[in-house]
A and B are shown apart, each in its own frame.
Chain A
Amino acid sequence: MSNSIPEIENADLLLIFGYNGADSHPIVARRIIKAKEKGAKIIVVDPRITESVRIADLWLPLKGGTNMALVNACGNVLINEALYHKEYVGKYVEGLEDYKTAVAKYTPEYAEAITGVKADDIRKAMRDYAGAKNAMILYGMGVCQFSQAVDVVRGLASLVLLTGNLGRANVGIGPVRGQNNVQGTCDMGTLPDVFPGYQAVTDAKARRKFEKAWGVKLSGRIGYKLTEIPHLVLQEDKVKAYYIMGEDPVQSDPNAGEVREVLDKMELVIVQDIFMNKTALHADVILPATSWGEHEGVYSSADRGFQRFKKAVEPKGDCKPDWQIICEIATAMGYEMKYEDTEEIWDEMRGLCPSFAGASYKRLDELGSIQWPCPTEEHTGTPYLYEGNKFSTPNGKGQLFACDWRPPLERVDEEFPLSLSTVREVGHYSVRTMTGNCRALQQLADEPGYVQLSVEDAEELHIRDQELISISSRRGSVMARALVTERVKKGATYMTYQWWIGACNELTSDHVDPITKTPEFKYCAVKVERIKDQAGAEQHVRDEYAKLRKQMGVNV
């Protein structure tokens, strides 16, 4: 996020694009409500009636998979109605002429035909957005989990640049990062192209620095991305071993059937985790790690805030902290890796990452939270980026970007006439091994999970609310409970990904964005069918659930 979570409530306008805060970040969602209470205008772009839509001043209910067409039309309005901030653009931004050409054909009327959003609503949204003193964009996986994702992010960033909403408090653009340390995992260089602190592995100078610190020669070749693994294993036979720490790809990645095939073909699958899960069922070796609550360290919040987390209880079994397990393997392989505690690791990392250098444990304890960049121990952190409107481009100028809209890679057709998008629900988290093992949360919702379905589609298919139904795609078929709701438009269905029986990732496609290789979780073609024998289906769910729990080692 360019700006901070607490700043959300001080914006004069929030443009919420493909982001359902109430289900994914309830405490961020409270800031959205506070902003509204303080008088902010709320504009929401989402095909579903989310909680934010309910308090919105303007709702743009676009068709799934048409983001780029809408973003281009927004740019078109800013240019054609001369709503953009000429002085700011002249001083800090480049690429205006090319941008104008790229968005020229995306008139609101042209976009209406693609997105289904009324042309005048697009105009109104941009007049309000450009007219607000401090406007902030929040976006989520409704932007990122499409085969055209990076383009949309850059398109949204262009709206921010065009209106000069950067470089000060209460503005900017916020990808509200999902999991509690997904920002931190990126910060630490758990990515195939960068060392910790976003230093490129292809940069010889950065490589030399890490080589000196670690005492070995390092590869300058960018590594494989997670979502490339199925192809690299099944088609190219290039990857033979998989060391999986704290992830459950069979449950969380698209096309689960293919993921299982990948794991079974590998020569070695190492799973390091806290609970048995669907991926661990395919492991050759399982290493039991200590959990949150049983060890300490630092997390990075979505708005770049380093915060210490502490140990509260002793581990229940013969478990070791993740870092200690890795150090023991390294040492057994002939590279001695030894740390006394997490602080020693953190200090080594800080010494190699200029933008994190000042965030020592001592300073974190004093300040509670430090937002990077924090170059020295005297520095108190950076609530918002781009002070002075200097950007991380070669000449320091912000770059405008637009390109043509591309439809999702899978299309609905006669056989699979509905679209499926995967979403979140508030009570359960991610693959559910943690929340599903909490008594209070487990009672909120349980197997087989739900398919959200429009009232019109349910009527056509003779499906009643809460009935068990079958949902299939070109890749698989699962059973789940119908949730017939007016929040969903005809032709679209939605499922959350934590269920074992109603496992939507048996259905999702492994099409990806060409740059980030992020899967198109938000769009695949499915069909929904009524199940006549409801009693038999209910029994099937109970039997399957009991079988799975037994497989996972639970005392049933």
Chain B
Amino acid sequence: MEKKVLTVCPYCGTGCKLYLVVEDGQVIRAEAADGRTNEGNLCLKGYYGWDFLNDPQILTARLKKPLIRKNGKLEEVSWQEAIGFVAGKLTEIKKKYGPDAIMGTGSARGAGNEANYVMQKFMRAVIGTNNIDHCARV
């Protein structure tokens, strides 16, 4: 059974609305939707830019497990270990050098507004710095 999910394109700032057509848990195509800015039009990235979700192993591999560098090599670890490592290291660095020794970035792409809100809140409320920026500057 096909399912159509109304969403917004992840590429440029036009904000085109599109349907992802899903069958057996896989995206099989995209269709243009009648969004305010695109009114039923899509460009080639809107039509064909979803394929990376299927991890086709063309350019880079999808990240599927947390990794920690041990003896110079990235090794798979559990989420518990990864979160504990990050929290411990950040606490240590904050204590040793102060909160302004830590810099964070938001993401202007897939993550979305809520993730960016949480990221800047984390840097400001938990780390204690306004060192938060993103690629709008570059």
Which residues of A come within 8 Å of B, CB atoms? 4-6, 24-28, 30, 176-193, 195-196, 201, 210, 214-216, 218-219, 221-227, 229, 238-247, 252-254, 267-268, 270, 273-277, 280, 283-289, 291-303, 305-314, 316-323, 325-330, 332-333, 335, 337, 339, 342, 345-346, 348-349, 368-369, 426-427, 429-430, 432-442, 444, 516-519, 521, 549, 552-555
A225 to B53, Cβ gap below 8 A?
no
B120 to A188, Cβ gap below 8 A?
yes
- Given A181-B113, A427-B45, the answer on whether A310 and B64 have CB atoms closer than 8 Å is no
17 additional A-B residue pairs with CB within 8 Å, beyond A226-B103, A293-B20, A438-B56:
A27-B42, A180-B109, A189-B117, A190-B106, A195-B124, A196-B117, A223-B131, A229-B103, A285-B67, A317-B63, A318-B79, A320-B79, A323-B114, A345-B114, A345-B117, A348-B117, A438-B48
Min CB gap B23→A, angstroms: 10
The listed residue (A306, A316, A335) touching B62 by CB distance below 8 A is A316
B112 to A240, Cβ gap below 8 A?
no
Question: Count of chain B residues with Cβ under 8 Å from any Cβ of A?
Answer: 104
The listed residue (B6, B60, B108) touching A437 by CB distance below 8 A is B60
List 28 A-B pairs, Cβ < 8 Å: A6-B36, A27-B46, A179-B108, A184-B113, A188-B113, A195-B124, A221-B100, A223-B132, A226-B133, A240-B96, A288-B62, A288-B64, A292-B109, A299-B8, A299-B15, A309-B7, A318-B64, A318-B65, A322-B112, A322-B118, A323-B115, A426-B44, A434-B49, A435-B49, A438-B58, A517-B137, A518-B137, A554-B60
- Given A268-B90, A437-B60, the answer on whether A225 and B137 have CB atoms closer than 8 Å is yes
Interface residues of B in 62-114 (CB under 8 A from A): 62-69, 74, 79, 82-87, 89-91, 93, 96-97, 99-114
The 7 closest A-B pairs by CB, nearest first: A317-B64, A301-B15, A246-B107, A297-B112, A190-B106, A223-B130, A553-B61
User: Measured between alpha carbons, how far is A489 from B82 in the docked complex, in Å?
Assistant: 52
Which residues of B come within 8 Å of A, CB atoms? 3, 5-17, 20, 22, 25-27, 35-39, 41-46, 48-53, 55-69, 74, 79, 82-87, 89-91, 93, 96-97, 99-126, 128-138
**Residue of B57, B90, B138 with most partner-chain A CB within 10 A:** B138
- Given A25-B14, A27-B43, A436-B60, the answer on whether A287 and B66 have CB atoms closer than 8 Å is yes
A286 to B67, Cβ gap below 8 A?
yes
Residues of chain A contacted by B109 (CB below 8 angstroms): 179-181, 246, 292, 430
Min CB gap A158→B, angstroms: 23
B22 to A298, Cβ gap below 8 A?
no
Residues of chain A contacted by B83 (CB below 8 angstroms): 325, 328-329, 332
The listed residue (B60, B104, B115, B134) touching A552 by CB distance below 8 A is B60
**Total A-B Cβ pairs within 8 A:** 476
Residues of chain B contacted by A180 (CB below 8 angstroms): 8-15, 108-109
Residue of A nearest to B59 (CB): A436
B69 to A285, Cβ gap below 8 A?
yes
A240 to B84, Cβ gap below 8 A?
no
Residue of A nearest to B8 (CB): A309
User: Measured between alpha carbons, how far is A555 from B60 in the docked complex, in Å?
Assistant: 9
A275 to B63, Cβ gap below 8 A?
yes
Min CB gap A379→B, angstroms: 16
Residue of A nearest to B110 (CB): A292
A369 to B137, Cβ gap below 8 A?
no
Min CB gap A505→B, angstroms: 10
User: Measured between alpha carbons, how far is A429 from B116 in the docked complex, in Å?
Assistant: 21
- Given A5-B37, A311-B5, A333-B126, the answer on whether A291 and B59 have CB atoms closer than 8 Å is no
